[in-house]
Structure 1
Amino acid sequence: MSLEIIPFEPKYAQSFKELNIAWLEKYFHVEPHDAELLENCEKTIIKKGGYIFYAKYQDSIVGCFSFIKINEKIYELGKMAVDPEYQGLKIGQGLMDYAIAYAKLQGWDKILLYSNTKLENALYIYKKYGFKEIDLETNTPYKRSNIKMELLLD
């Protein structure tokens, strides 16, 4: 498989938005915080110290994820999506492998993520990669979130 993980390029911002909206509309709905992040991801993620990466497969953008900066050593892993036509090719795992390796290379302390317990497959993968459930604050960034997890990086 010729999967390539590439960093943010403005020309792919629309793909980032479309992949995430398709995923959100399939399982939930687009919340105001989602719309804010997706409408202008360069301003709301990149220019605030975050990162966006794309999965490029056979010259097409088929997946993505972001790191939203919490502080210098802690980032939220979010906006991970894979085009439904390419699911089952382990692209999500490729993105997760890359995300964790990148975070360790940066010397971060931990990665956080918000999810929902109805996403059993996603939770299985997060646990497989070592994420552990932690207390969920009452004022979460997403109304759909009913679980918060972290991965401590060594």
Structure 2
Amino acid sequence: MAQEKHPECRKSAGDISIRTELRAGDAGYITFMHGRIYQKEYGYSTLFEAYVAKSFFDFLQNYDPSRDRLWCAEDGGTIIGCIGIAGHGDRAQLRWFLIEPEYRGLGLGKKLLSLAVDFARNRGYQTIYLDTTSDLTQAVGLYRKMGFEKVKETPNNSWKKGVTELEFSMDLS
């Protein structure tokens, strides 16, 4: 059975392209997306946007295409989704997983997550891990379906009161 498109989305998954080459402006635009979407959907403060900006700064300073990767899903040249892998020794950190709301429900999240996990596995990482929050119930469900297990829970009031930060991990060996 074909997956139904989001009612506000006139595009299908076939209209979306995914690229891996880093371009000028990607980090800024993806940081903007995170700030806008997380504020609107979850009430996160601008400190969350600062956290994302710092993580991109660190990523770009240490970027090694043989160990790190950023996937940008685009529609008409505009980024509408993303995910990244940042290598840390024998561990791969999954970062910046986000889909614009009107493009959710097309299978794009599953596609991006699969690409990232496959990349980490093919690069010889032993483990892939990620940090998320309990607010992101859809993403948490997808992580679990892909084989990630929750390994840590920590209160984090940095971006909004009452947030629980979750760490998920998956063995790739």
> Shorter-chain TM-score: which interval?
0.7 to 0.9
Among 59, 73, 77, the alignment partner of 1:45 is 59
- Rate the CA distance shift 1:142–1:105 in 2: closer, same or farther, 3 A: farther
**Which residue number corresponds to residue 38 of structure 2?**
24
**Which residue number corresponds to residue 76 of structure 1?**
93
8 Å contact from structure 1 (residues 54, 61) kept in 2: yes
Larger Rg: 2
Q: In structure 2, what is the Cα distance between the partners aligned to 1:46 and 1:119?
A: 26
Q: In structure 2, what is the Cα distance between the partners aligned to 1:36 and 1:46?
A: 14
Letter in 2 for 1:22: R
- Rate the CA distance shift 1:136–1:20 in 2: closer, same or farther, 3 A: same
**Which residue number corresponds to residue 3 of structure 2?**
none
8 Å contact from structure 2 (residues 35, 46) kept in 1: no
Structure 2 gaps of 5+ residues are: 1-13
Q: In structure 2, what is the Cα distance between the partners aligned to 1:136 and 1:53?
A: 27
Q: In structure 2, what is the Cα distance between the partners aligned to 1:142 and 1:75?
A: 24
How many positions carry a matched residue from both structures? 152
1:24-73, CA deviations, whole angstroms, 9 ceiling, x for partnerless residues? 212141464641442683x321222443221123433110122234x221
Secondary structure of 2:79's counterpart equals: strand
Q: In structure 1, what is the Cα distance between the partners aligned to 2:125 and 2:142?
A: 21
Q: In structure 2, what is the Cα distance between the partners aligned to 1:80 and 1:40?
A: 13
Q: In structure 2, what is the Cα distance between the partners aligned to 1:24 and 1:32?
A: 11
- Rate the CA distance shift 1:60–1:121 in 2: closer, same or farther, 3 A: same
Residue 3 (structure 1) aligned with residue 16 (structure 2): yes
Root-mean-square deviation (CA, aligned residues, Å) is 2.8
Provide the identity percentage: 20
Structure 1 gaps of 5+ residues are: none
Secondary structure of 1:10's counterpart equals: coil
Letter in 2 for 1:89: L
Q: TM-score, normalised by structure 1?
A: 0.80
8 Å contact from structure 2 (residues 80, 100) kept in 1: yes
Q: In structure 2, what is the Cα distance between the partners aligned to 1:114 and 1:105?
A: 22
Secondary structure of 1:9's counterpart equals: coil
Q: TM-score, normalised by structure 2?
A: 0.73
